[in-house]
Chains A and B, each alone.
Chain A
Amino acid sequence: MGALDWLIIFLVLLAVAAAAFVVIRRRRRGGGVFATRGKP
């Protein structure tokens, strides 16, 4: 494989890693403000 192929593979892996990082951070962060259930 040529240098361009390796570059594309590298960029794809980088994009996957960045997406996984964002998902993990979002799931971990939380940040909800939950009201308790009112009286029925």
Chain B
Amino acid sequence: MKLLMTASQINGLPVVTVHGGDDVAEVRDVIYNPEAGRLVGLTLNKRGFFSGRSREVLPAEAIHAIGRDAVMIADESSLVAPADAPDDVGHPATDRNVIGNDVLTEGGTSLGVVRDLALLVGSAGEVVGYQIEKPAGGHGYIPLPAQLAVSGAALVVPDVTQEFIRDDLVGLGAAVDDFRARLGMQ
């Protein structure tokens, strides 16, 4: 089942094993590859009120499913040490947090500041857009191309993105395919 969720909705979710139903960790950070437009993994917290960061991480390949209330994995062996995980997940680029980055069109218009990441989840995680805080105030959602280079403090998106700003996740879901089809025509 496909479901649109934001990264902030995924952060804090329990990580539960399909075989046994054990609650083994909690999602701490979301790591994604903007060039491939997909989730690459999750960093974790240990369970418990005062327990801290878990050394183990969860690569996207080891995720059975991401649902509204939990991230499902096959069993505890899905959690791996950083040295055994892909480098992007084992040693995430913590200086590349996109929250707070400016979004600029190729024509130089500011669409706002990134407040969250929108993902199409289920068995995998596809990055489909950002939640932005508009310059004039208020929030909106912008769709993303299937691939987008992120190299500095600003995210540069195609000019046509302005026409596809939506007020909520449902509207974003409907706009993504149209947006990408439009880019394909250009």
Contacts and interface: CB of A to CB of B under 8 A. Distances in A.
B33 A24 contact: no
Interface in A1-40: 24, 27-39
A30 B94 CA distance: 11
Contact of A31 (B11, B50, B51): B11
Contacts of A35: 32-34, 93, 96, 98, 150
A37 B45 CA distance: 23
Given A27-B52, A38-B35, A38-B149, A32 B94 contact: yes
A33 B34 CA distance: 11
Contacts of A31: 8, 11-12, 28-29
A27 B29 CA distance: 12
A33 B98 contact: yes
A33 to B, nearest CB: 5
Please indicate which of the listed interface residues A24, A28, A39 has the most CB atoms of chain B within 10 Å of its own CB.
A28
Interface in B1-44: 7-8, 11-12, 28-35, 40, 43
Please indicate which of the listed interface residues A27, A32, A35, A37 has the most CB atoms of chain B within 10 Å of its own CB.
A35
Given A35-B150, A36-B32, A38-B34, A30 B88 contact: no
B53 interface: yes
B93 A33 contact: no
Nearest to B40: A36
Given A28-B52, A29-B12, A36-B33, 17 more contacts: A28-B51, A30-B11, A30-B28, A31-B28, A32-B29, A32-B43, A32-B99, A33-B7, A33-B97, A34-B96, A35-B93, A35-B98, A35-B150, A36-B31, A37-B88, A37-B96, A38-B35
